């Protein structure tokens, strides 16, 4: 039976059937969900091909009479069926079969069989064809093959989709006048487009369905992009109705805390840093909650911008919280911020999950009383026991590493109904323009587009793993000059144990190859205190080589480290490689990044990996890296958990549909202002309850 058109039954009711659970896994809970569950491909059951006209390798449907049906036990058990269509005969071969199938293929039965035909010494054969009785008219449309899961047959899924398609409200929610500039897509209504895509005519150019260029596909893309833009715009407008603390320095200009911090810094801010500090200052001086993304390449100086924003907040008598995804990164921030702010009389609290109970109680008391004006930590900052006296600014570093619920929890720490803290999210993975226009459309974006002076260019080399000994020689040369080296091992997602073994073995090999050199090991399974001890030794220059998994991907700042070696670089994402490369080149010494890659059958160095490595060699510009990464991997690398609970774009492609995205951006405010009821229906149809997640 098709799923009900209403919401699923409550847990108090009878348990769901296996079929219903399978449909839930596919997200098919509403009629519109079923209508939007589009085919992966199509099968042509609209025509019969004579065997005399068949060609080797054709996928065809034949019709004939069964002249022989037997179970053969030669080599392996199989069902062999001989089918004669009057022009020739074909053997249907089944290695997996049930008595019911054998019975349906009895001698004398007239059937249709669909599959790939192959020739041979004994004539035509089909392996495991789809068979059915040769009754009734041939269909007039292509047969859809839908994405499915185990235990959900295509026949059942087709009935479910057809039922949902028939019941769903597919009335158009986009007025015709707003569609004019889109072109021929305007001629297709949503109902027409969906019915066509589920059951296209056999004369359609299949390529236009496969590459989504058919007008019916284009109609779905504009609907989807408009829903996303509307949802983001609604979130932005709803937030504008909330209130946030007005954060303006209360002291005279020269004595203001952020001015004293600027004067105390041992370096001058770049023009780009001054610009983004001004943008943030303007936002937090308003009573509307700031919702800003600060993006800048690796080493662009985002932390000092965050410190200045925190100083303005603290000067106004409020508290600021900075949350980072890992203890190593949080510790880096804490060290820098304490060094800058404590001499100015600012008390900072430190919160992580690994803290001892006594220290944690002390920090919680400082936060609750307001004595700690700045709170730095990991996810521990958002735990229930953490009570702020007056949280006014929340800063989230590497925002894509946090889930929606975590970001919402930090924003809700203010504890006043109708009030929200200002929110500043930071990322060292620059956001390509199309992503900024779509998934981040509800954010204001600040960009630090220049590096501080003194950052040395990093030379990137691609080296085959067969030349590993040469790389170790290069490490010796760097160590002889008093420099330090990172050696990063890949994360093996299938097994943390393998990941650990890989790093441990590399540590042992380098320790043996470099006698007298302190070689450290850092991985995710180490106790936090041990991690901090290793990082401290490396940061202080008492350790020559640090072997690590990707826990050092972000935030680690050791200016004396001049060489980065990434083992099995072909296993890393492009943005991740760029982040790792950014751990060197932070001092005055010439720096290099060696990407060791494997070749041969075992490594399967595919085109995608080649494209990543080539991009790393050709450019060190983080914005160009981000653009290429979007082309290679799609938006997931940039979004991380931002879309938790909400689907990525299913139909539109940001790489090819920019013109449709431009139209959706312009159209969303017009539709929302002129036709708010249609806008609500449009968002509900496409996003349902998922729209809430786009607000985080």
Q: What would the DSSP string read from start to end of 89-158?
A: EEEEEESS--HHHHHHT-TT-EEEEEEEEE--TT-EEEES-EEEES-SPPPSSPEEE----TT--HHHHH
* Alpha-carbon 592 to chain mean position: 29
Q: How far apart are CA 130 and CA 128, in angstroms?
A: 7
Mean per-residue pLDDT of the chain: 85
Using an 8 Å Cβ cutoff, are 437 and 364 in contact?
Answer: no
Question: pLDDT > 70: what percent of the chain?
Answer: 88
pLDDT at 605 over 80: no
What pLDDT score does 634 carry?
Answer: 61
Which range of 107-111, 351-355, 661-665 scores highest in mean pLDDT? It is 107-111
Q: What is the mean pLDDT of residues 52-73?
A: 94
pLDDT at 252 over 60: no
Using an 8 Å Cβ cutoff, are 325 and 401 in contact?
Answer: yes
Using an 8 Å Cβ cutoff, are 172 and 189 in contact?
Answer: yes
What pLDDT score does 486 carry?
Answer: 93
3 Cβ partners below 8 Å, 6+ apart? 20, 23, 28, 29, 34, 160, 164
Confidence of residue 181 (pLDDT cuts 50, 70, 90): confident
User: Which tokens in the block code for residue 71?
Assistant: 């179970």
Confidence of residue 669 (pLDDT cuts 50, 70, 90): very high
pLDDT at 277 over 90: yes
Q: How far apart are CA 446 and CA 443, in angstroms?
A: 10
Closest-CA residue to 101 (of 452, 408, 335, 92): 92
What pLDDT score does 13 carry?
Answer: 52
612 Cβ partners below 8 Å, 6+ apart? 570, 572, 573, 574, 577, 629, 632
What pLDDT score does 475 carry?
Answer: 94
Residue 236: how many CB atoms within 10 A of its CB? 15
Residue 458: how many CB atoms within 10 A of its CB? 21
Q: What is the pLDDT of residues 541-566, one digit of tens each?
A: 999 999 988 766 545 678 899 999 99
**Ramachandran bin of 401, using left for φ above 0, alpha for ψ from -120 to 50, beta for the remaining angles:** alpha
What pLDDT score does 14 carry?
Answer: 59
Q: What is the mean pLDDT of residues 165-175?
A: 95
Q: Give the DSSP H/E element, type plus range, for residue 65.
A: strand 59-72
Domains assigned to the chain: 47-133 (2.40.50.140), 257-448 (3.40.50.300), 458-619 (3.40.50.300)
Q: How far apart are CA 224 and CA 651, in angstroms?
A: 7
pLDDT at 7 over 60: no
Closest-CA residue to 129 (of 141, 112, 109): 112
Residue with tokens 């019911």: 100
Residue with tokens 């981000």: 626
Instruction: Report the residue count for the chain.
Output: 696
Confidence of residue 36 (pLDDT cuts 50, 70, 90): very high
Q: What is the mean pLDDT of residues 82-106?
A: 94
Q: What is the pLDDT of residues 283-336, one digit of tens each?
A: 999 999 998 989 888 778 889 999 999 999 999 999 999 988 888 778 878 888
Q: What is the mean pLDDT of residues 488-509?
A: 68
65 Cβ partners below 8 Å, 6+ apart? 83, 84, 85, 108, 109, 110, 111
Greatest Cα pair distance, the chain, in angstroms, is: 100
User: Which tokens in the block code for residue 117?
Assistant: 């035909």
Q: How far apart are CA 683 and CA 691, in angstroms?
A: 8
What pLDDT score does 353 carry?
Answer: 81
pLDDT at 500 over 70: no
What pLDDT score does 199 carry?
Answer: 96
Confidence of residue 418 (pLDDT cuts 50, 70, 90): low
Using an 8 Å Cβ cutoff, are 549 and 499 in contact?
Answer: yes
Using an 8 Å Cβ cutoff, are 583 and 506 in contact?
Answer: no
pLDDT at 9 over 50: no
Q: How far apart are CA 372 and CA 369, in angstroms?
A: 8
């Amino acid at each position: 039976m098709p799923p009900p058109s209403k919401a699923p039954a409550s847990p108090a009711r009878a348990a769901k059937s296996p079929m219903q659970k399978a449909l839930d896994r596919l997200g098919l809970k509403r009629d519109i969900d079923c209508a939007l569950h589009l085919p992966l491909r199509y099968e042509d059951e609209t025509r019969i091909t004579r065997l005399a006209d068949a060609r080797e390798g054709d996928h065809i449907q034949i019709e004939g009479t069964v002249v022989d049906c037997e179970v053969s036990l030669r080599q392996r058990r199989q069902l062999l069926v001989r089918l004669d269509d009057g022009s020739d005969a074909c053997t249907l071969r089944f290695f997996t079969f049930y008595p019911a199938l054998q019975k349906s293929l009895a001698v004398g039965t007239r059937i249709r069989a669909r599959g790939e035909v192959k020739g041979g010494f004994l004539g035509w054969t089909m392996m495991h064809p789809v068979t059915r009785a040769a009754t009734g008219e041939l269909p007039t449309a292509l047969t859809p093959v839908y994405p499915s899961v185990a235990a959900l047959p295509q026949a059942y899924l087709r009935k479910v989709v057809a039922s949902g398609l028939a019941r769903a409200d597919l009335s158009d929610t986009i007025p015709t006048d707003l569609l004019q500039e889109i072109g021929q897509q305007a001629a297709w209504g949503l109902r027409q487009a969906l019915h066509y895509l589920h059951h296209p005519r056999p004369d359609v150019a299949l390529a236009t369905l496969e590459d989504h260029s058919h007008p019916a596909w284009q109609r779905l893309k504009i609907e989807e992009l408009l829903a996303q833009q509307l949802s983001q715009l609604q979130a932005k407008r709803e937030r504008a109705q909330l209130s946030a603390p007005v954060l303006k320095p209360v002291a005279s200009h020269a004595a203001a805390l952020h001015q004293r911090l600027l004067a105390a810094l041992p370096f001058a801010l770049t023009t780009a840093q001054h610009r983004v500090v001004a943008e943030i200052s303007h936002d937090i001086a308003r009573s509307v909650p700031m919702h800003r993304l600060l993006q800048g390449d690796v080493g662009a100086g985002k932390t000092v911008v965050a410190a200045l924003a925190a100083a303005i907040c603290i000067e106004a008598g409020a508290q600021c919280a900075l949350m980072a995804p890992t203890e190593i990164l949080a510790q880096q921030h804490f060290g820098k911020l304490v060094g800058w702010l404590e001499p100015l009389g600012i008390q900072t609290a430190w919160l992580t999950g690994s803290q001892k109970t006594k220290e944690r109680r002390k920090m919680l008391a400082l936060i609750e009383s307001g004595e700690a004006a700045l709170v730095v930590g990991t996810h521990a900052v958002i735990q229930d026991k953490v009570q702020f006296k007056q949280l006014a600014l929340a800063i989230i570093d590497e925002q894509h590493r946090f889930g929606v619920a975590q970001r919402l929890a930090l924003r809700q720490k203010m504890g006043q109904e109708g009030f929200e803290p200002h929110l500043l999210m930071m990322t060292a993975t620059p956001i390509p323009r199309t992503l900024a226009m779509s998934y981040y459309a509800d954010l204001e974006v600040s960009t630090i587009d220049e590096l501080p002076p003194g950052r040395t260019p990093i030379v990137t080399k691609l080296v085959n793993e067969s030349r590993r000994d040469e790389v170790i020689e290069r490490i010796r040369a760097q160590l002889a000059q008093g420099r330090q080296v990172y050696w990063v091992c890949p994360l093996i997602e299938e097994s943390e144990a393998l990941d650990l073994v890989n790093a441990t073995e590399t540590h042992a090999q380098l320790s043996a190859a470099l006698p007298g050199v302190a070689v450290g090991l850092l991985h995710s399974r180490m106790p936090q205190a041990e991690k901090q001890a290793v990082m401290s030794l490396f940061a202080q220059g008492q350790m020559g080589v640090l072997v690590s998994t990707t826990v050092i991907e972000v935030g680690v700042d050791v200016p004396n480290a001049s060489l980065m070696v990434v083992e099995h670089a072909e296993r890393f994402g492009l943005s991740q490689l760029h982040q790792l490369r950014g751990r060197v080149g932070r001092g005055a010494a010439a720096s290099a990044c060696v990407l060791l890659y494997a070749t041969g059958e075992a490594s399967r160095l595919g085109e995608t990996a080649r494209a990543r490595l080539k991009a790393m060699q050709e450019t060190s510009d983080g914005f160009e890296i981000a653009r290429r990464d979007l082309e290679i991997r799609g938006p997931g690398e940039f979004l991380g958990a931002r879309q938790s609970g909400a689907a990525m774009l299913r139909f539109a492609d940001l790489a090819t549909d920019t013109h449709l995205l431009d139209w959706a951006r312009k159209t969303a405010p017009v539709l929302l202002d002129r036709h708010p009821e249609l806008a609500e229906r449009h968002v509900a149809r496409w996003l349902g309850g998922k729209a809430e997640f786009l607000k985080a």
